[in-house]
Structure 1
Amino acid sequence: MNAPDLPIAADHRLLPPERAPLERPYGVPLQAPSAQSLGLEEEPEGEGLDLRELWQVVLKRRWTIVVVTLIVVATMMTNTYLETPIYRADLTLQIDSEDIKVVTIGTPVDTATGGQDYLQTQYELLKSRSLAQRVVEQMGLNDRPAAAPPTPPSWLTQAKRWLAGLLARGDTDPVVTPEAGAPDPAADSARLEGAISGLLGGLTITPVRNSRLVRLSYASPNPVLAAAILNNLAKSYINLNLERRFDSTTYARNFLQERLQQVKTKLEESERELVEFSRREEIISVDQKESIITGNMTAASAALIDASKKRMAAESIYRQMERTRGQGLAAVLDSTIIQDLKQTKAKLEAQYQDNLSTYKPAFPEMVQLRNQINQIDATIDQEIDNIRAAITGNYEAAKAEEGMLRANLERMKQEVLSLQGRSIPLNILRREADTNRQLYEGLLQRYKEVGVTAGIGTNNISVVDEAKVPSAPFTPNPRKNGLLALVLGVLGGVGLAFLFERLDDSFRRPEELEKLLGLPMLGIIPSSPRVTAEGRAIALVGHDDQRSAFAEAYRSVRTALQFSTATGVPRLLTVTSAINGEGKSTTALSLAIQFAQAGKQTLLIEADLRRPTIHGSLRLDNQTGLTNYLAGGEAQPVDITRPTHIPNLFAIPSGPLPPNPAELLASARMVELLSLAAERFDQVILDSPPLLGLADALIIGNLCQGTLLTVEAGSTPRGYVVGAVKRLRTARVPLLGSILTKLEARAGGYGYYRSYYYYQHSGYYGDSEAKKLSG
């Protein structure tokens, strides 16, 4: 394909000022719309826990986690197999409750019980140095090297020993050593203490919950010695317990014998005083006499109470009789005789009234009836008088009986008080004698019990399971250590991964780039290999497979550039980056391909005169290029402009690398070249060198109408990018926006950008080759 006609060298001239590219006739770059202007609320940073983000960090730093885990596991397993194997023997004891009654008075008293304090005491006795010393002396462990602590000394202990030996060798003072064959008490004592400490250091006591069982464990490099020490320890502990019980019984017998003699003497004295006092006061059978007098007084008191009740009842009837006249007395009304007389009288009066209708009152029969009625009235009155006399007699008798009983009770009280007064000293002597007798009987009974049980070796401690020689080492445990190392390695690796992620000063999210730089994000480019499987540059994928994810990403950038300014895409566009290797050359070539595919006559200028790569990607001859024209040689623009195999795309290679790239780029010939290119081509794209440390990008940026900044995701430090943007703005370079390149969407993508990447790779466009390139 032929390039558009370019003027010859004689016609080279600068464009008029109104058409110079430095005036940027394409308008100013648009500012990135804020979240508030779009009606969106920005999510505050640091609030909440995004599990997906944490998972993406783990995926991104997965090799860090794997390496740390392998290192920890390898270290742990190496240390495990280098450790000395330790064997552990186990023995089970049963400790029942103990009941020793030294003194029993009244009710039994337990001086030792089977409560928690008793069991805790037994546990401490098992760990006592006296018991350990007995085992050491019985087994001769102080003369054997096996008496050392069961666990090997640590590297710190070995270092201390080595340093102490080194200092001892440097000491010039003479060392006094004992004569050959002479005993060394200090050395023997040290060996004994070392053996005791070693035995106690390897001993573990574990009580079994909710039972009286206790499990003893002993760890040692020698399995036979571990079992032997435990068995000897249990036997010595049982023997020690029996000895303690025998010593306690002996002490109890001696104590009881002495107390019996003392109490016996006191009992004899108290009984003698009791008998003498009874004889002197002439008190015989005090208990029986007191009981008779007390019984009589109780009976008299009860009789007096009954008499008082009878007297009060009789008095009540008597008082009622005095207040009542005629036949209204209750006793009269209740009398059957009077009731019968009244009934007979009523019948006679009824008959008399019936006869009045026939006879006159003077009739003999009527007179007889009247006499009978009068006789009955006289009989009723006589019966009433008898009742009143009986009530009066009952009252007088009850009153007299009460008086006699009261006098008799007063007499008995005087007798009881007199007897009690004379019996007080006697009761005191009797109680003292009873107390001494009970104490003597209790001590005598206990003395006989202790004497009977003195020869019986009762034991409340027994061995349930004897210690067996362990067949396998207890520690180190390769499986346990391996699992622990795996867990620690994974945790350490995850922690280190998050630490690296925290210390990572690069841009990991597109929104971070927009927020920090204040530039619109024009596109996101997924990570891809530098060359395809066929050895072609990755930028050519946009031409080879227009439906690939890589091509779609730059097609999105091309679309975003059309809206980056008020008048569309700047005709003169340069692509730069903060440092080398951020994909600026790939971006420049890919954008040029996209504009060419859109039907625009596109010119790609390789303005990176320090490390040019575009001519290699397009496989162009670089013998003659931009430097030949800028250096003032015979090369003309038409000579250095070359067509490519991509339709509508022309390129100017860099040419030989010059010693002074900045001077060449700032020359008038560069301005003239860009002016002619902007007049002849629809789109001119320049591949600019990096910004930091170089002035080339600033010069090119001021010659173009728009600058596009590429930033590599997860690699370029933020300070570099911020410094680069600051230099561009200080030099008044028109910045259109930024592109985030090499984004690991599967491992480090976030939010809708990950969804966008998946959308591009999901096969919606039928892209199969792009999946291989970007996967």
Structure 2
Amino acid sequence: MSNPQASSPPGGAIAKRASPPVPQPAAAAAPPQALSVRSVEDAEPAEASLLNYWHILVKRKWLVLSVLVTIMTVVLVATLLTPPVYRATATLQIDLETIKVIQTEGITPGEGMSSRDYYQTQYELLKTRALAERVAARLPEELLPSVHESLAPSALARLMGMLRGRPAADPAAVPLDKDRLAAFVQNNMRVEPVRNSRLVRLHFDSLQPGFSATMANTIADAFITANIDRRFDASAYAKQYLEERLQQLKLKLEDSEKQLVEFAQQEGIVSVDEQQSPAAQELQRINESLAAAQQQRIEAEAKLHRAQQTAPEALPEVLLSSIVSQLKNRRTELMSQYQDKLRIFKPDYPAMTQLQGQINEVDQQLGQEISRIKQSVKAEYESARNTESMLASRLAQLKLQLLDLQGRSIQYNIIRREVDTNRQLYDGLLQRYKEIGVAGGIGANNISVVDRARAPRGRYSPSLTRNLALGLLVGLAAGLLLALMIERLDDTIKMPEDVERQFGLAVLGVIPRIRRGSPLAELKNPRSAFSESYRSVRTALQFSTDTGVPRTLFITSSTPGEGKSTTALTLSMHFAQLGKRVLLIDADLRNPSLHHLLSVSNEAGLSNYLSGASRPLRNLCRTRVKNLTCLCSGPLPPNPAELLAGPRMVSLLQLAAASFDQVIIDGPPVLGIADSAILSNLSGGTVLVVESGSTRRGYGRTVLRRLVSARARVLGVVLTKLDPRSQGAGYGYGYYAYAEGAPKKLGHA
């Protein structure tokens, strides 16, 4: 490497060289229009799509597989260490009502509820501790060893106890009492109602097939017995209650009957029933007779008026009288004889006189008979009127008597109703008492065993296939959730889409991570993926503005170690390959690195000029790359920000822009120091370097806010150290690697 002094072009040469107009610092340029503080603040993450989730899962596939394998291993070990459990099943039929031998409704407490409540009650009765204690009491002694075996800790429990440092206690060493047996029955019994039917399956789990079947049948028999006992107890209780009530009602009925008889004797009441009372019956007869008498009186009165207003001979009674008819016939005969003899004899003739006397006598009899008929009509009227009066008077008397009787019978009726009520209660309770006495001995039951339990042929659990399937599902779900949770908690910039979505900036290029070797080694191979990526960045910079690449280009990042210096060096080399005269300035006066990458001396450089110890562009170093010149940082100054903010830095950039086709500045990180803000303001364009999977979103937004507030012209972002294989399928971005002269595609766009 040549001496810095010898490599520096003389001042006169720079002054005489024909050069294009010197560009002004970016401080005088207009602020960028594509980026502002508001756009940085308003940038929000977009909603995740299904494809994004798929990429996340592919990216973290090893985490998902690790969780899946761990859970599957745990499930497999637990299944193999768990002893086999055998389940026996007995099927019961529970009817809502029993066979009605006699009508005994209301004896048992469950007959008034709905079918749903009734069956739910029966299911809960199967799970009660009372039934478990009944089963435990009926358990024979020869089955107790099976209970001890079922209560013994499994190999898995012993292993877990050993891991915890507390060995599992052996329940078989503790004697079995009533409570432990009942708890054992409850813990191993399962009730499964069959939908839309009256059937219920009763399961029992244990370590022995025969013991499971025996316990299931024992529980079923105990439940049926308990149901019968419950009904019998209810009947016995009802019978005892009715006996007490019958005795009380019997005494009360006797007292009320005595009071009724005594009151009837005191008041002289035979019966207060209107259908049986003599006064009521006589009142009814008198009322009927009075109606008939009134009708007769009316008819007699009509006859009397007719007799008074009609000629006697025209009266119907006269016309219908046989005596009057005989007398009239007799008079007609006499008159006929008299007329016949009057032609012969004179009226004073004795025979004629005799006939005339007979005629007069007949007329007299006829008048008497008519008079008698008229008197009979009047007498009939008088009789009917007298009869009506008498009946009306009697009816009034009977009404008074009946009203008096009813008034005196009020208390009698009260006592009689009490007697009737007591008699009805007594008769009803007596009938119910007899029914319950009969029903108590019938033993009707609405629960029956449809299928008795048999010893199972195979174990019920653990099922290796089912457990592995569940472990697979749980492992996949846990792995996916863990991957998504880690991805959500990871707020770093990983993909170009994150840059565009979070910062609103264009991605100038994506640089792949170098797994082996160094960046300089990759740069030596112009056909490597690393070189191709930076060539795409160079091309993007050429179209970043209307005038092409800014003459002064500032390269920075948010934090150290993101590939800022490598990016600056690589871009300088690629611009130099285009035939441009490129000046690479190491403006990181706090932690310079370009002199290490280029293997040049850093004894003198930028800090010497800024402090006034040398002339501009005096300490330039030629590099091994054609057309590439480097200005190292020089000795580290105590006040870098003050030196960079002085006028000498502006003059240096003006001279460099006039002497070189492209000036690239490798600056310090933005966060924590003010150097980058100063340099970005002085440069014509700023490129932000972001490390994939390392730079946090908050840091990136803070960097952009500082650059925007410094009126920097941010051209875009270079995303470095991206590992396409770790980001999932579909994130190749056109990387190619070349081996033995044949291209090999690393990914696809």
- C-alpha contact (below 8 Å) 2:188/2:205 kept by paired residues: yes
1:458 is aligned to 444
Amino acid in the other structure paired with 1:235: D
1:740 paired with 2:718, answer yes
1:322 is aligned to none
Q: Compute the displacement of 1:439 (Å).
A: 5.5
Amino acid in the other structure paired with 2:187: G
2:136 is aligned to 136
Q: Compute the displacement of 1:144 (Å).
A: 3.1
2:512 is aligned to 528
Amino acid in the other structure paired with 1:191: D
Q: How does 1:638-717 map to 2 (within 5 A)?
A: 640-642=622-624, 650-651=627-628, 681-685=660-664, 708-717=687-696
Q: Deviations over 1:482-510 (max 9, x none)?
A: 55555554554454445434443434587
Q: How does 1:356-755 map to 2 (within 5 A)?
A: 406-417=392-403, 420=406, 442=428, 445-446=431-432, 449=435, 452-453=438-439, 455-478=441-464, 481-482=467-468, 484-507=470-493, 521=505, 523-528=507-512, 530=514, 551-560=535-544, 569-579=549-559, 582-584=562-564, 587-588=567-568, 591-592=571-572, 595=575, 600-603=579-582, 605=584, 625=600, 640-642=622-624, 650-651=627-628, 681-685=660-664, 708-717=687-696, 736-742=714-720
Which one of the candidate residues 88, 107, 111 is aligned to 1:114?
111
214-223 or 714-723, larger mean C-alpha shift: 714-723
The 1-side partners of 2:677 and 2:416 are apart by 127
1:219 is aligned to 205
- C-alpha contact (below 8 Å) 1:561/1:569 kept by paired residues: yes
Q: Compute the displacement of 1:718 (Å).
A: 5.2
The 2-side partners of 1:36 and 1:92 are apart by 77
Amino acid in the other structure paired with 2:136: V
1:201 is aligned to 187
1:352 is aligned to none
1:341 is aligned to none
The 2-side partners of 1:223 and 1:572 are apart by 88
Which one of the candidate residues 232, 251, 258 is aligned to 2:218?
232
- C-alpha contact (below 8 Å) 1:532/1:538 kept by paired residues: no
Which one of the candidate residues 55, 58, 66 is aligned to 2:56?
58
- C-alpha contact (below 8 Å) 1:572/1:684 kept by paired residues: yes
The 2-side partners of 1:17 and 1:725 are apart by 41
Amino acid in the other structure paired with 2:555: V
* Equivalent position SS for 2:177: helix
The 1-side partners of 2:34 and 2:149 are apart by 75
Q: Compute the displacement of 1:232 (Å).
A: 0.7
1:94 paired with 2:96, answer no
The 1-side partners of 2:49 and 2:748 are apart by 25
Q: Cα gap change, 1:574/1:17 in structure 2, threshold over 3 Å: closer, same or farther?
A: farther
Q: Deviations over 1:169-209 (max 9, x none)?
A: xxxxxxxxxxxxxxxxx975x63322222222222334556
- C-alpha contact (below 8 Å) 2:525/2:531 kept by paired residues: no
Q: How does 1:246-325 map to 2 (within 5 A)?
A: 246=232, 290=276, 293-294=279-280, 297=283
Q: Compute the displacement of 1:413 (Å).
A: 1.6
Q: Deviations over 1:573-600 (max 9, x none)?
A: 4534445653445644664476467x65
Q: Compute the displacement of 1:86 (Å).
A: 3.5
- C-alpha contact (below 8 Å) 1:575/1:708 kept by paired residues: yes
Identity of aligned residues (%): 35
Amino acid in the other structure paired with 2:562: E
Q: Cα gap change, 1:603/1:548 in structure 2, threshold over 3 Å: closer, same or farther?
A: closer
448-457 or 284-293, larger mean C-alpha shift: 284-293
- C-alpha contact (below 8 Å) 1:531/1:538 kept by paired residues: no
Q: Compute the displacement of 1:231 (Å).
A: 1.0
* Equivalent position SS for 1:197: helix
| Runs of at least 5 residues in structure 2 that lack an aligned partner in the other structure | 299-380, 609-617, 736-741
Q: Compute the displacement of 1:697 (Å).
A: 8.5
Q: CA RMSD in A?
A: 6.9
Amino acid in the other structure paired with 1:557: L
Q: Cα gap change, 1:89/1:709 in structure 2, threshold over 3 Å: closer, same or farther?
A: same
The 1-side partners of 2:571 and 2:296 are apart by 137
The 2-side partners of 1:426 and 1:674 are apart by 134
- C-alpha contact (below 8 Å) 1:626/1:654 kept by paired residues: no
The 1-side partners of 2:8 and 2:574 are apart by 31
- C-alpha contact (below 8 Å) 1:576/1:710 kept by paired residues: yes
The 2-side partners of 1:700 and 1:539 are apart by 27
How many residue pairs were aligned? 632
Amino acid in the other structure paired with 2:126: L
* Equivalent position SS for 2:562: coil
- C-alpha contact (below 8 Å) 1:93/1:213 kept by paired residues: yes
The 1-side partners of 2:435 and 2:539 are apart by 109
Q: Cα gap change, 1:638/1:23 in structure 2, threshold over 3 Å: closer, same or farther?
A: closer
2:370 is aligned to none
Q: Deviations over 1:137-188 (max 9, x none)?
A: 323389436258769699799869998999x9xxxxxxxxxxxxxxxxx975
Amino acid in the other structure paired with 1:526: V
TM-score (normalizing by structure 1)? 0.58
Q: Cα gap change, 1:151/1:654 in structure 2, threshold over 3 Å: closer, same or farther?
A: farther
- C-alpha contact (below 8 Å) 2:260/2:416 kept by paired residues: yes
Q: Deviations over 1:296-320 (max 9, x none)?
A: 64576689899999999xxxxxxxx
The 1-side partners of 2:672 and 2:409 are apart by 127
The 2-side partners of 1:428 and 1:726 are apart by 104
The 2-side partners of 1:146 and 1:551 are apart by 79
Q: Cα gap change, 1:581/1:416 in structure 2, threshold over 3 Å: closer, same or farther?
A: same
Q: Cα gap change, 1:418/1:442 in structure 2, threshold over 3 Å: closer, same or farther?
A: same
* Equivalent position SS for 1:219: strand
Q: Compute the displacement of 1:524 (Å).
A: 3.1
Q: Compute the displacement of 1:601 (Å).
A: 2.2
TM-score (normalizing by structure 2)? 0.60
- C-alpha contact (below 8 Å) 2:688/2:717 kept by paired residues: yes
Amino acid in the other structure paired with 2:145: R
The 2-side partners of 1:741 and 1:29 are apart by 27
The 1-side partners of 2:76 and 2:699 are apart by 44
| Runs of at least 5 residues in structure 1 that lack an aligned partner in the other structure | 1-5, 169-185, 313-394, 616-621, 645-649, 762-767
1:364 is aligned to none
Amino acid in the other structure paired with 1:467: A
Q: Compute the displacement of 1:741 (Å).
A: 1.1
The 2-side partners of 1:276 and 1:495 are apart by 94
